[in-house]
A = this chain, B = another copy of it.
Amino acid sequence: MADFKVTPWEVEGKIDYEKLVKEFGTKRMDARLKAKLEKLAGGSHVFLRRNFFFSHRDLDLVLKDYESGKGFFLYTGRSPAGAMTLAHLISFLFTKWLQEKFKVNAYLQIPDEEKFLFKQKLSWEEVQERTKEDIAHIAALGFDENRTFLFQNSEYVKNFYPVLMKTAKKINFSNAKAIFGFNEQSNIGMMFYPALQIVPTFFEKKRCLIPCGIDQDNYWRPQRDIAESLGFYKTAAIHSAFFPPLTGPEGKMSSSIAESAIFLSDDEKTVANKINKYAFSGGQATVEEHRRLGGNPDIDVAFQWLYILFEDDDRKIEKIREQYMSGKMLTGELKQILIEKINAFLKEHNRKKEKAGKIVEKMKYSGKLAKEMWGRTI
């Protein structure tokens, strides 16, 4: 029995990623594949260098297709419900980087029915309100406006309806139940939903690469069973580990537990308060002890956040690690570094978000790819 749990809806306990890869049947990103990806990309990314994206399906084949000139495309998404946190940016940031490096199309799905169907008390109207906000956050990240198509299912459904129905016809209740854990009380919208999340993998007759959290891998397992019978490729994926919640190095950050998360809308003071108050520390109980024994960066959430996302200078992060471990740097000082980094990031992010209206319009409707997509029925 594993003492951790990973489903698309729940992540609990201390994750054994080695075990997870075996259980899910994905592959570790080995050194050779990573090097090849970096070589073809002409650069690296902090998520790769620090092994935060650690697992994949068919990434080797994607790179082969890229080398042969056939190309590939990117797909990721965001299901609106609660407010967006830093963790929600991970897949988007990596997708954006891959797009920039490989000059490929990216499809950003906003499944604005999912959480409505899965959460009893959430209304359609609340989700729609949330959706606008989320899209503005995504637009602030700077995707290539002419190579990106951002779409809400409720708006674009007509265009993908034929392939949606073809997908739904191939998945039966017992498949869906085995993978998603549906039961007699599940509503028929939930049971249908997996088809909606699969559909974007069929937007091009090339291999699709999905950057996502490893917990989302489930959703595309039926895709790999049915894709070829529909004349498409099995989708590839590149999986990240979980962005740790403020409250400790286990589980994942969740927008439904406010003290576990930094929201993109948090102001400077809130960020400082949350980090100081909740960020789980690997430091010692007293300053004296800390000076003597040093801190443990492996369980220190402030250090982890710097390592994964906020300090991409390799020399600087190693210096922080060293100083923290040696006791030279105190927990409060470490937290202060993170607070400044987060606040600088959020300030810039929200400045871009305020001006994102035109970008949203391009990614949704009038950019080169968006225009093409609105003219297609798939």
- The answer to whether A184 and B172 have CB atoms under 8 Å apart is yes
Copies of this chain, whole number: 2
A186, B165: Cβ atoms under 8 Å? no
Does the CB pair B116–A165 fall under 8 Å? yes
Question: Is there an interface contact between B162 and A185, defined as CB atoms closer than 8 Å?
Answer: no
User: A46 in the interface, Cβ–Cβ < 8 Å?
Assistant: no
Alpha-carbon distance A192/B157, docked complex (angstroms): 15
Question: Per a CB cutoff under 8 Å, which of B154, B172, B188 touches A194?
Answer: B188
Query: Bound complex: CA of A176 vs CA of B187, how far in Å?
Result: 9
Closest to A193 in B: B188
Assess A124 versus B189: contact at CB under 8 Å? Given A169-B116, A173-B184.
no
CB-defined contacts of A358 to chain B, threshold 8 Å:
none
Which residues of chain B have C-beta atoms less than 8 A from A155's C-beta? 158
| Whole-angstrom CA separation of A171 from B186 in the bound complex | 8
20 A-B pairs with CB atoms under 8 Å apart are: A116-B165, A117-B165, A154-B158, A154-B162, A155-B158, A156-B158, A165-B189, A168-B188, A169-B187, A172-B184, A173-B173, A173-B184, A176-B188, A188-B191, A188-B192, A188-B194, A188-B195, A189-B192, A189-B195, A191-B191
Q: Which 6 A-B pairs have the closest CB atoms?
A: A168-B189, A192-B192, A174-B184, A158-B158, A113-B165, A154-B161
